[in-house]
Structure 1
Amino acid sequence: MAGKPNRLTQLCYATPALAAAIPTIPAYILLPSLYGDTLGLGLTLTGMLFFVIRLIDMFTDPLVGYLSDHTKTRKPWVIAGAVLAGIGIWFLFNPPAAPSGFYLFGWASLLFIGWTMFQVPYLAWGAELSGDYDQRGNISALREGTGLVGILLAGAVPVVAGINAPLAQTSLLGNVTLVVGVLGVLILALFVPDMLRNKKGVQGDNLKSALTAGAGRKGQKPEKSPSRFDQVRAGLAGLWQNRLFVRLLCAWLINGLANGLPAVCFPLFVRYGLDLSPADQNILILLYFAVAVIAMPVWVMLGGRFGRPVIWCWAMVAAIVAFVFVPVLGQGDFIGFAVICAVTGAALGADLALPPAIQADVDDWDHYRFGASRTGLLFALWNMTNKLALALAAGVAFPVLGAVGLNTGGVMAQSGTAEANQWALGVLVVIYAIVPVVLKIMAVAMMWRFPLGRRHQLALRRRLDRRMS
């Protein structure tokens, strides 16, 4: 079992999350509309390119998770991934005046593949730092809270600097990311112990034992050692037999799509749906993430007392209530939308802090039930599911909005009738708010009465400790 890291070690572990989070606003919110709308690449082409990029990136997650589980340390993966992501950020956030689809595809692919190589081992590393229920929740919250501070910094820099042009914003934030990232990764590599090398019974050894069970019995021939492909297939089969994992993963996918649709459509909704300025957009983004940072420790405290699954459900309910009021907003309704951003931002704090901690608890159950340590693979599938949700968000929303009248270059179809423009705005509202409400209701239904709360996880850890002692 992993030891209990002190507070300084936890802070050192969380430090890289600051740099990793700074490009979140550009990558998930600004870049799709920047390339598709401002730079003239087209909403349909941009949406499809991001969809394909995400699909390719998605399938690298289980590979990285499996390979990082079978190395003595996760540090090389984290460092190499950070380097590749940094190169991708530099070129993607500093595009030429008229970028081609190949330019977007190439550098975005490099960014997201590097991001995978960093993020999957990084998340698994955090889950392995401690097996204590409360401390594990604190580590997850500290990492995600540090990430939210990075996102908050990304939202504050353009406001403080008075930079409203999307291209100038992305360039500035990309440069800040590179500087902060070098420092954060160095701190992680030098001062945080890697628990993987101390774990007993890594995945490969456990799977080999399971697959070769019965070999050497009287009257039987010894079986051949299983191939790497057989080990991966056995590992995946075991994960899908874990019903708690499948249930949580489905809820995570649906809620991720519910969050991804408003994220990719946010600049378009602010510009066309509300007719607000870029400066207003920057303030709303800053408000959204500032409230998430403030609310996160409250969600963690409530989750530790009443159970993380039920508190996550109530946070999603709060977001549902807020989104219901989006269709009644009018042009220029900054205050009304600011209230909605504040409530959904608070819910975001729960979305970021609670599900990864629930996932770490499910990892304990997987280890206990199937006798294999598959933390990296499990978190890879977790990350893979999140990317699928984001891929679907961009791949569905942008082509639909392009088809109904949101034209390249930032203007709605001038030749269309008023009715056609109202139709386009109506579709934008449906995608931005109504569809997420339906999806979040589904996610709440899946997670309600989730049977792995605080009491169950503590009992599970005691049994694991006895088994490994």
Structure 2
Amino acid sequence: MTTTHTPRPTTTALPRSTRWGYGGGEWANGVMWTAFTTLFLYFTTDVVGASAAFGATIMMIGTVWNTALQPYVGVRSDRLRSRHGRRLPFLLAAAAPYALTSWLLFTDFGLTGVARTLYYTVVVLAWFTSLTLFYVPYGALGAELSTDYRERTTLAGVRTVFSQLGALVGAVAPLLLAGLLTGPLGSDRAGWSAAAAICAVTASAGILLTWATAQGRQLAVEPAAVRLRDSLAMLRSRTIRLLLGALTFGWAPLSVTGAVAIYYAIHIMGYSQNAASLVMLTWFLCGLAWLPLVQLSCHRIGKTRTYVLFTAAWAVIQCLFLLPNRGDQLLFWALIATSSAGSMAVAVTGWSLLADATDVEELRTGERREGALYGLAAFAQTAAAALVVWLAGLALTAAGYHGGTQPATTARDTIRILMSLGTAIWLIPGILCALRLRLTRGRHHAIRQALDARTTGTPLLPETEANLLRGL
């Protein structure tokens, strides 16, 4: 175990400007990540004119690139030595490239064949690179702003608010703006490109907000001597394996829902493209309404139990999407309003537990390795999202969906199954992982006391620390 210990952070409440400013990075991710996962597949089929398999494969290529990139960026941020801290330089460097590549994702220059494939491959690789350069250090920054158990839950709640607001904009604004701008600009392609430009600039501003408000608020932590293989070695920890499993299978259904909801609203419920955007608007607004209950549940029964309770209910609700048809408005909107609660629980509990897990790793290794841990978590999240969307795209193509307003019965049945059982099934392994987690509030408090004892020069006996880590 490393004997060099990092200075302990303050546990006092953060200034309101820092707490709310921290949400800017999640806003930036929420806007464009949601636009990408929710609308890129639809954009490639109904605007670009490519197959669903083409769009899904492009998304998968970006995720494969992230396989190495996200853990690497996390490790590099842990090792960075800068007067602005370990995380903030990454945010500043990524802001402009993120805006540019986000715009290019939804810009169709009329290319065909190999040229079109090369264009979207290069753009998606560049976009994932800029996304990772800010999002992994951004996630790690949250654990460096406070070590207090409740303050971290509050930060996770703020982050979730901005995530929902960003996701709302990312899912709704491109559709609405593209519809409004298509006429004046003369084509669907031009309308979508202009809409993407507006969303990209708005999203990137969130990165700069976090960068500005977190200045001087991070912990005074020495760069960690962590390597990429040390990052992968974290997977030996039972807690981290289970936590990554809960996050991976908790985010997967959100990605399926986001990618398929627009098809479901249009082809199952019979809504127009503009009306379909209202479905996503309602879903994200209802998510915000559920947030106070999720946070209250975390404080009352704990983060792990909250995850299990809300995701189990979410799985049941998603299965009920097998039932609505055109005209079943009450049932459909009731399902939309209630299904968003589960995603709120995954976000709040997942991000908060990740911050707590960094303390477990510090007790184990003597170093704060937030970047390495959040690199693994970001990879798990994006890998799951791309995999399930890729499978959904392949399923739509196999069912004969090629865009248009009148898909075949087989395609409509596939959309219905993807929205219901194809979403709920991913939640089961996530619930099983959460049920086995042992990082409780009391366990975390004891670990924090052990870390504080180290910095005061009165560390606990090795066998006592070993007991704290047993089962984690």
Deviation of residue 185 (structure 1)?
Answer: 3.4
Residue among 138, 146, 150 paired with 1:122: 138
Asked if structure 2 preserves the Cα contact closer than 8 Å seen for 1:58 and 1:387, the reply is no
CA distance in 2, matches of 1:197, 1:449: 31
| 2-structure distance, mates of 1:400, 1:299 | 34
Distance (whole Å) between structure 2 residues aligned to residue 268 and residue 168 of structure 1: 22
Deviation at 1:143, TM superposition (A): 1.7
Query: How far has the Cα of 1:86 moved from its partner?
Result: 0.9
Of the three residues 185, 194, 198, the one matched with 2:220 is: 198
Contact 1:276 1:334 survives alignment (8 Å): no
Q: Is the 8 A contact 2:153 2:352 kept in 1?
A: yes
5 Å matches for 1:300-311? 300-311=295-306
1:360 corresponds in structure 2 to: 355
Alpha-carbon distance between aligned partners in 2 of 1:430 and 1:169, rounded to the nearest angstrom? 32
1:198 is paired with a residue whose SS is: coil
The aligned counterpart of 1:79 is: 92
Q: Secondary structure, in 3 states, of the residue corresponding to 1:20?
A: helix
**Conserved in 1, the CA contact under 8 Å of 2:175 and 2:273?**
no
Q: Contact 1:55/1:391 (CA < 8 Å) preserved in 2?
A: no
Letter of the 2:438 counterpart: P
> Match of 2:283?
288
**Aligned with 1:275: secondary structure?**
coil
Deviation at 1:203, TM superposition (A): 2.6
| 1:107 aligned residue | 123
> In the superposition, relative to structure 1, how do residues 148 and 332 fare at CA in structure 2: closer, same or farther (>3 Å)?
same
Distance 1:90 1:159 in 2: 14
Aligned with residue 92 of structure 1, among 101, 105, 113: 105
**1:108-187 to 2 correspondence within 5 Å?**
108-154=124-170, 157=173, 163=179, 170-171=192-193, 173-181=195-203, 183-187=205-209
Task: Output the CA distance in 2 between the equivalents of 1:49 and 1:159.
Answer: 21
Aligned residue pairs total 434
Letter in 1 for 2:105: L
Structure 2: 5+ residue runs without aligned partners?
Answer: 1-7, 183-187, 457-472
| Distance apart, 1:98 and its partner CA | 5.1
Residues 20 and 177 in structure 1, CA contact (< 8 A), matched pair in contact too: no
What displacement does 1:155 show?
5.2
Q: Which moved more, 1:93-102 or 1:246-255?
A: 93-102
* Cα deviation, residue 435, structure 1: 2.6
The residue aligned with 1:210 is: none
Deviation at 1:243, TM superposition (A): 0.3
TM-score normalised by the chain length of structure 1: 0.86
Q: Distance in 1 between matches of 2:73 and 2:444?
A: 27
2:315 to 317, 320, 327: 320
Contact 2:21 2:209 in 1 (8 A): yes
CA distance in 2, matches of 1:19, 1:125: 15
The answer on whether the counterparts of 1:152 and 1:286 sit within 8 Å (CA) in structure 2 is yes
What's 1:417 paired with? Answer: none
Contact 2:177 2:195 in 1 (8 A): no
Describe the shift of the 1:249–1:162 C-alpha distance in structure 2 as closer, same or farther (beyond 3 A). Answer: closer
Alignment check: 8 A CA contact 2:73 2:375 kept: yes
Partner of 2:20: 11
Deviation at 1:177, TM superposition (A): 3.3
Instruction: Tell me whether 1:438 sits opposite 2:425 in the alignment.
Output: yes
Mean CA deviation greater in 395-404 or 182-191: 182-191
Name the counterpart of 1:224. none
Q: Distance in 2 between matches of 1:394 and 1:306?
A: 33
Of the structure 1 ranges 16-25 and 374-383, higher mean CA displacement relative to structure 2 is found in 16-25
Change (3 A) 1:38 1:185: closer
For residue 11 of structure 1, report the CA deviation from its aligned partner: 1.7
Greater alpha carbon shift after TM alignment, 129-138 vs 278-287: 278-287
Determine if the alignment matches structure 1 residue 410 to structure 2 residue 407.
Answer: no
SS of match in other structure, 1:193: coil
Matches within 5 A, 1:213-252: 231-237=227-233, 239-252=234-247
CA distance in 1, matches of 2:68, 2:93: 18
Secondary structure in 2 matching 1:405: coil
Letter aligned with residue 142 of structure 1: V
Residue 273 of structure 1, CA deviation: 2.6
* 1:303 CA drift (Å): 0.4
Tell me the amino acid that sits aligned with residue 383 of structure 2. L
Q: Work out whether 1:376 is the aligned partner of 2:385.
A: no
Structure 1: which 5+ runs fail to align? Answer: 208-230, 414-420
- Tell me the residue number matched to 2:257: 262
Give the letter aligned to residue 54 of structure 1.
T
* Aligned-partner SS, 1:152: helix
